[in-house]
Chain A
Amino acid sequence: MAEAKTLDIRNLSIGVGEHSVVDGVDFSIGQREIVALVGESGSGKSLTALSIMGLLSGSVRQTDGTATLEGEQLDLGNDTAMQKLRGTSLSMIFQEPVASLNPLLSVGAQVAESLIVHGRATKADAWDRAVGMLRDVGIPAPEQRARQLPSELSGGMCQRVMIASALIAEPRLLIADEPTTALDVTIQAQILHLMRRLRDETDTSVLIITHDMGVVASVADRVCVMYGGRIVEQAEVHELFAAPRHPYTKLLLATIPRMDGARKTELFSISGMVPDVSAWPEGCRFRTRCPLATDHCASRPPLEPVGEGNDHVTACWHSDKVEGLA
């Protein structure tokens, strides 16, 4: 038998009030793998990530599904059990590094915190390891920087601090929710470079949540495309960009202005907009905007392998016609 997946998600479903916002999501992440969950706003990608951390709250509830971390089933609804895992086996970084850090605590203390809270090191030892971690993520003069407050650091530095505090406990899985969206492009390039290095040099697997196909192309090994609370396509990254087999993926890639494309021409666009969660159509949820839609699409297409092997899956009745689109 193959080694246990770092993370295995089966039939994950999430509801807000009476509405289903994430519906039967399946995916897994192998060791040292970077998997991207990509989609537009309202696709359910961030809720999927929060649920894996056991961080759903209020009227947002998990309604179905299981998650296993290295073969061990996670009790996502049990906050006490999940609290033990957060900061040890599971870590998460968010879009707004400055807002995610405590403004009154030195960044060194924040990086060291999870080691101390979980009783894995003495204060002095944790501080030394925090300084080492800050150095590893590329913060110059880490001994001095560790004593500074977040407000004394730039946004890019704060995101490095976030990454350092997420990685210090050597988690099995790092979840990064839009980690570079709030950063400038030259700083984004530094952080993406760092994430690739971490994948190569540590045993941590990464789930990255993003709307940016450039970020996906830069760091992901495998990609799950979400639309309307479901995964509509999943493939190895080169395969996904070269030969997308779901019309949404194909059209999404075609709408992005290219650095080498024609200028001032009409860009390809997807007609309409993502329907509100209360108005999702029966069957395929993309069918109201899809140029390939037929009556058949009123029944839900299963996520099935396309091409050779089982690595590339898509949920579309017309996946054989996608190539001719756009």
Chain B
Amino acid sequence: MSEPLLSVKGLKVHFPVATGKLFGEKPVVRAVDGVDFTLNKGETLGIVGESGCGKSTTGNAILGLAPVTEGAIHFDGRNVAALTGRERQALWRDLQVVFQDPVSALDPKRTIGQSIAEPLAIHGVGKADRRARVDELMELVGLRAGQRDRYPNELSGGQRQRVVIARALALEPRVVICDEAVSALDVSIQSQVLNLLLRLQRDLGLSYLFISHDLSVVRHIADRIAVMYLGTVVEEAPTDALFARPLHPYTEALLSAVPIPDPRAERAKTARPLQGDVPNPMEMPPGCPFVARCPLREAGCDVIRPAPVEVAPGHRLACHVREREITGASALDTTG
């Protein structure tokens, strides 16, 4: 198999917490605490999880917007941390991001055309070429050429997100990180933008790292999904396998919590909702991060951190109890 386009190994992002005390050990929030994944060319990897699970921080670390405490990020075979300034700028051509809120992502005093042209100007594309490229990009994302001189406040939310996507594509990136890219949009607009992302991927061979809390959206667009909880990936699998047979108890709870837009199916659900809240990340247990809410918890789960194990092709799982059910043994047995 060919080299993955993007690979993340043992990624940790720890933020110190201000305590107001001058001396003594500073507590840290382990926002991302040992994450591994790869992204291949033309593929979409979904990252799902609830607030505070570290999914956005993971994306930010790849973009250089969050400090990497430990671990390595490789893009196209090269270690991102070792890049020189010039190489790093070249990386920005290949790696772009679309955030949730198209309103704050666009400068209200610039026209749509100016916003889309900005990265082209920064990377030294001449004026005449810029104009032609902006027209091309606007057509690509389904904006009318007549909208080039409009301002963001004259556009709808869906159109603004198209502008943000056009700008992200201006330098022909290979990977686009979509961080809750359709979450702020109305459903009728959301489906238009999802269709656009799928079409662009087909036509341009893009890879997406698609970060979202919305499981039905991620299911639709992603080839593989990583489920995060408290800074770790608890399960990763091809999309169909994950939905057909979620193995981690958190994945199971997450999937069954999504309200189905069909009253008969929704009311026939028998699973009791997952109890409790996500614990404070500063009080992370040494063992499994899900232990406090886990219905399958056994002695030892709160002490030994489960390592991800491949239990089926491409299906990785970090759960002692389920691992034992599938493979016949787990770290709980060997040390206990």
Chain A contact residues, CB within 8 Å of chain B:
40-41, 154-157, 184-190, 192-193, 211-218, 220, 237-238, 241, 251-253, 255-259, 261, 263-264, 266-270, 273-274
| Residue pair B257, A186 in contact (C-beta under 8 Å) | yes
Contact among A217, A253, A263 for B259, CB-based, below 8 A = A217
| Residue pair B266, A217 in contact (C-beta under 8 Å) | yes
Indicate with 1 or 0, residue by residue over B159-174, a CB within 8 angstroms of chain A CB atoms.
Answer: 1000000000000000
**Residue from A185, A190, A217 with most neighbouring chain B CB atoms (10 Å):** A185
- What is the number of residues of chain B that contact chain A, defined by CB distance less than 8 Å? 47
A193–B269 alpha-carbon span in the complex (Å): 11
Residue B303 at the chain A interface, CB threshold 8 Å:
no
| Residue pair A190, B275 in contact (C-beta under 8 Å) | yes
A192–B264 alpha-carbon span in the complex (Å): 16
**Residue from A186, A188, A256, A268 with most neighbouring chain B CB atoms (10 Å):** A186
Using known A-B contacts A255-B191, A257-B217, determine if residue A238 contacts B186 with beta carbons closer than 8 Å: no
| Residue pair B50, A185 in contact (C-beta under 8 Å) | yes
A216–B221 alpha-carbon span in the complex (Å): 24
Using known A-B contacts A156-B277, A186-B254, determine if residue A214 contacts B261 with beta carbons closer than 8 Å: yes
| Residue pair A264, B220 in contact (C-beta under 8 Å) | yes
| Residue pair A241, B261 in contact (C-beta under 8 Å) | yes
Using known A-B contacts A154-B277, A185-B215, determine if residue A252 contacts B188 with beta carbons closer than 8 Å: yes
Residue B333 at the chain A interface, CB threshold 8 Å:
no
Contact among A156, A193, A217, A220 for B262, CB-based, below 8 A = A217
Residues of A within 8 A of B260 (CB): 214, 217, 259
| Residue pair A270, B188 in contact (C-beta under 8 Å) | yes
Residues of B within 8 A of A266 (CB): 195, 198
Can you name 7 A-B pairs with beta carbons within 8 Å?
Answer: A156-B277, A185-B213, A185-B254, A192-B259, A220-B263, A237-B263, A258-B261
Using known A-B contacts A189-B259, A190-B273, A273-B189, determine if residue A264 contacts B266 with beta carbons closer than 8 Å: no
Can you name the residue of chain A whose Cβ is closest to the Cβ of B274?
A186
**Residue from A192, A220, A255 with most neighbouring chain B CB atoms (10 Å):** A255
Residues of B within 8 A of A220 (CB): 263
